[in-house]
Structure 1
Amino acid sequence: MASIACTPSVPSPGNATGLRERARGALLGLAVGDALGAPAENLKPSEIRARWGRITGYVTDKPAGTDDTEYAIFSGLLLARHGSALTPSHVEAAWHEWIADREEGPFRGAGFSERGTLENLRRGLAAPISAQHRHAWSDGLAMRAAPFGVFAAGRPAEAARLVAIDGSVSHDGEGIHGGQAVAAGVAAAMAGAPTYAVVASALAVVPDDSWTARSLRRAVAVAHRGERAVRSAVVIGGYPWTDLAPEAVALAFGAYATADGDFRDAVLTAVNMGRDADTTAAVAGALAGATQGVAAIPPTWAAAIGPARGSCLPAMAGHHVLEIADLLVPDEAASARNPPTGRAGAHGLPAAGSHRLHPGRN
């Protein structure tokens, strides 16, 4: 069994400016991947080809992030508020404050795992009982895990610890493992680790015999053969659910490895494999964005990403992923003005009460 204490060494994070560019790359990359992949969600590669040929850019007039982006913003705000002191009680309170006790948007809380969590919370159940529903294995935690890797740059084990706390309210088992793999991978990429070390960091924080680890190993082992080989190695033919964490996370890492960390190729590889394409492309985008920095994202793709619309989580409306990146990795000037505190962890993040941490305010 793997242990988060055995996470392989990764480079120390660079200077604050470089770290911030990687942070912006990770979270903007997530939102771009989400928007690119949304039209291909739940489709087969053959269906994608029949509609668009090969997707090489946005295929809708008004691309936007889905629940993946809005939940990542949610987790980023939560992490900025509490830092390394995050507890399950903090997460549960945030679910009530920002989601469960508010009027829901058209997405009605998003996927099956989120719906199950909200129903349990509204019945008065607390973590970890709130995560006992039929879809605790979903990729709903993996899709919002990147902010933890951004915050814990260069510390994959800490990223994995924190994302598991977040996930304790909504996920269990393979759902937690998927989130930990993504958070650890992003944390390694934030420190400039090469592709193989990013993958190794992800594998180090999940049990060796887990479905997530087995799928991830299969995906990266055939990554040099391209997206068709990755998809064949991971996807279980005929399985009805596409939001399965071991599958989605493995496809995302497979796309990232196929592209050797290149942002454009990683995201488009994930998109054109279909299945839960918004999530797989969002995760691949976060990994590659952290690896290459925000400058690697094609400007036309980046320009299409605006503030969250609140389609899934109305409380997140108006927040931009770049705002979240800046909260999690302040620049040198901001760090000098606001020295680190015990509450916010090592990055000197604003504590609760800052006006920038309240959803709905600009």
Structure 2
Amino acid sequence: MGATAGPVWGRAEQQDFRSRVRGTLLGAAVGDALGAPVDGLGIEEIRQAHGPGGVVDLAPAHGRRGAVTHLTQLTLFTVDGLIRAQVRRDTGAWHPPTDLHRAYLRWAATQRDWGPDLRRKEDGWLAREEWLYARRAPTRTLLLGLGDEVMGTLDSPKSPGAAGPEVVPRSVPFGLLVGWEPQLVAQLAVECAAQTHGHPTAYLSAAAYAVTVHALACGESLDGAVQRALALLAAWPGQEAVSQALRHALGAVRQGLPGPSRVEGLAGAGTAEAVLAAAVYCALVAEDVGHGLRLAVNHGAPSGPTAALAGGLLGALHGETALPPAWLAELEGRPTILELADDFAMEMTQGPALHGPAGASPGWMSRYPKG
């Protein structure tokens, strides 16, 4: 697997990219946190618990307001794996899916261990963040897929029938590889999704989401970004259901005012491609980020994954300053997310200065060891 040489980074380009990286990761996490208290509830149950308008603000889940779930945890380990893949590239032994699999195994360890005090130095700094050891409703498919050290591949995927939406949110960082060609972004998303979910609609939904975010991070409109994903999907076998779901999302924009029934009509099947379509729809019709995320939460389909996906899209489109500050202020793990986002942006724009032929930063290599 290779990558293009990448863009030339001036100061303004670096600042814009960092804002989009922060916006993408924070937006996805805020959506996850907004949906966590009501994930799995029907719209009437949501209204009974939160009033006739449904969820309009962060609500308690997992013992606090602003709590995130396994969706955000795995997304952060995706970022960690991508940075470490770039660092390992200097060794000549470069296979990003393997680095991502190691990162996902580090997440799986957080779901078994009491805390990080015994974690090895080669696990890096993220695996020593104590708050990530909270078990936040990971699905059985995820735990099975990462329950041993055998890596699922496209030819031999884990859980071949698994098509759940939880596989898609963690692919959002792949879209931030703006120096890569979209085809390579899609390939990486597919290979990493197959490590836990082997159904074509699951791993191709992950690819479609990553390619859409990639186009947004490169400055494309959301409608244009979805069209790019559709064009790329056309070459993949088994893509029909994902493409059809995305086309339904685009068509729904012209069918009247958005509301819970329209979102649920798209996401109701609860599968990866259905939830992705609903998230795309919510982002397309959003008046602002807050409106889009409330729309993505208040319906009877999976609220957490829909809102996490919509948040990633809106954050990549608008950058961090468009996110509701009151929600960011209460977001669990915000300092960690920001630190990781800035590290990712620095690695992608200035990696050679951190571990290039001229020398390596000991601090960076300690944070993101090659092992």
Q: TM-score range by the shorter chain?
A: 0.7 to 0.9
After superposition, give the CA deviation of every residue in 1:261-317 in whole Å (9 maximum; x if it has no partner). x32222111011242211111110010011111000111111112428xxxxxxxxx
Larger Rg: 2
Where does residue 357 of structure 1 map in the other structure?
Answer: 368
Could you say if the C-alpha distance between residues 115 and 292 of structure 1 is closer, same or farther in structure 2, counting changes exceeding 3 Å? same
**Which amino acid in the other structure matches residue 209 of structure 2?**
V
Structure 2 residue 43 is matched with structure 1 residue 45: yes
Where does residue 218 of structure 2 map in the other structure?
Answer: 191
**Which amino acid in the other structure matches residue 337 of structure 2?**
V
Structure 2 residue 121 is matched with structure 1 residue 89: no
Could you say if the C-alpha distance between residues 352 and 227 of structure 1 is closer, same or farther in structure 2, counting changes exceeding 3 Å? farther
Unaligned runs of 5+ in 1: 1-11, 309-318, 342-348
Where does residue 157 of structure 1 map in the other structure?
Answer: 183
Unaligned runs of 5+ in 2: 1-8, 114-132
Please say if residues 245 and 266 of structure 2, whose CA atoms lie closer than 8 Å, have aligned partners that are also in contact.
yes
Where does residue 230 of structure 1 map in the other structure?
Answer: 262
Structure 2 residue 30 is matched with structure 1 residue 24: no
Could you say if the C-alpha distance between residues 127 and 194 of structure 1 is closer, same or farther in structure 2, counting changes exceeding 3 Å? closer
Distance 1:267 1:350 in 2: 40
| CA shift for structure 1 position 29 | 0.4
Distance 1:320 1:44 in 2: 32
Could you say if the C-alpha distance between residues 126 and 247 of structure 1 is closer, same or farther in structure 2, counting changes exceeding 3 Å? closer
Could you say if the C-alpha distance between residues 269 and 217 of structure 1 is closer, same or farther in structure 2, counting changes exceeding 3 Å? same
**Which amino acid in the other structure matches residue 185 of structure 2?**
A
Counterpart of 1:254 (choices 278, 281, 296) is 281
Could you say if the C-alpha distance between residues 332 and 183 of structure 1 is closer, same or farther in structure 2, counting changes exceeding 3 Å? closer
After superposition, give the CA deviation of every residue in 1:226-274 in whole Å (9 maximum; x if it has no partner). 13453354244xx5xx3x20111111111111216x3222211101124
For the aligned residues, what is the CA RMSD?
3.3
Where does residue 316 of structure 2 map in the other structure?
Answer: 290
Where does residue 322 of structure 1 map in the other structure?
Answer: 338
Structure 2 residue 305 is matched with structure 1 residue 279: yes
Where does residue 211 of structure 1 map in the other structure?
Answer: 241
Q: More deviation in 262-271 or 34-43?
A: 262-271
After superposition, give the CA deviation of every residue in 1:76-102 in whole Å (9 maximum; x if it has no partner). 101111148444333333344442597
Distance 1:231 1:332 in 2: 35
Structure 2 residue 116 is matched with structure 1 residue 107: no
Could you say if the C-alpha distance between residues 203 and 192 of structure 1 is closer, same or farther in structure 2, counting changes exceeding 3 Å? same
Please say if residues 306 and 320 of structure 1, whose CA atoms lie closer than 8 Å, have aligned partners that are also in contact.
no
**Which amino acid in the other structure matches residue 66 of structure 1?**
T
| CA shift for structure 1 position 37 | 0.7
Structure 2 residue 329 is matched with structure 1 residue 303: yes
Could you say if the C-alpha distance between residues 97 and 56 of structure 1 is closer, same or farther in structure 2, counting changes exceeding 3 Å? closer
Where does residue 79 of structure 1 map in the other structure?
Answer: 82
Distance 1:22 1:62 in 2: 25
Distance 1:145 1:112 in 2: 19
Distance 2:180 2:317 in 1: 12
Where does residue 124 of structure 2 map in the other structure?
Answer: none
Please say if residues 82 and 351 of structure 1, whose CA atoms lie closer than 8 Å, have aligned partners that are also in contact.
no
Please say if residues 69 and 136 of structure 2, whose CA atoms lie closer than 8 Å, have aligned partners that are also in contact.
no
Counterpart of 1:145 (choices 163, 171, 187) is 171
Identity of aligned residues (%): 25
Q: How many residues align?
A: 322
Q: Secondary structure at the match of 1:221?
A: helix
Distance 2:180 2:279 in 1: 20
Please say if residues 23 and 321 of structure 2, whose CA atoms lie closer than 8 Å, have aligned partners that are also in contact.
yes
Could you say if the C-alpha distance between residues 352 and 282 of structure 1 is closer, same or farther in structure 2, counting changes exceeding 3 Å? farther
Normalising to structure 1: TM-score of the pair? Answer: 0.78
Please say if residues 253 and 285 of structure 2, whose CA atoms lie closer than 8 Å, have aligned partners that are also in contact.
yes
**Which amino acid in the other structure matches residue 327 of structure 1?**
D
Where does residue 168 of structure 1 map in the other structure?
Answer: 194
| CA shift for structure 1 position 351 | 11
After superposition, give the CA deviation of every residue in 1:64-123 in whole Å (9 maximum; x if it has no partner). 11101000001110111114844433333334444259725563881132023034x36x
Could you say if the C-alpha distance between residues 219 and 326 of structure 1 is closer, same or farther in structure 2, counting changes exceeding 3 Å? same
Distance 1:235 1:332 in 2: 34
Please say if residues 178 and 212 of structure 1, whose CA atoms lie closer than 8 Å, have aligned partners that are also in contact.
yes
Distance 1:298 1:192 in 2: 21
Please say if residues 30 and 285 of structure 1, whose CA atoms lie closer than 8 Å, have aligned partners that are also in contact.
yes
Where does residue 131 of structure 1 map in the other structure?
Answer: 157
Distance 1:336 1:87 in 2: 18
Q: More deviation in 273-282 or 87-96?
A: 87-96
**Which amino acid in the other structure matches residue 94 of structure 1?**
A
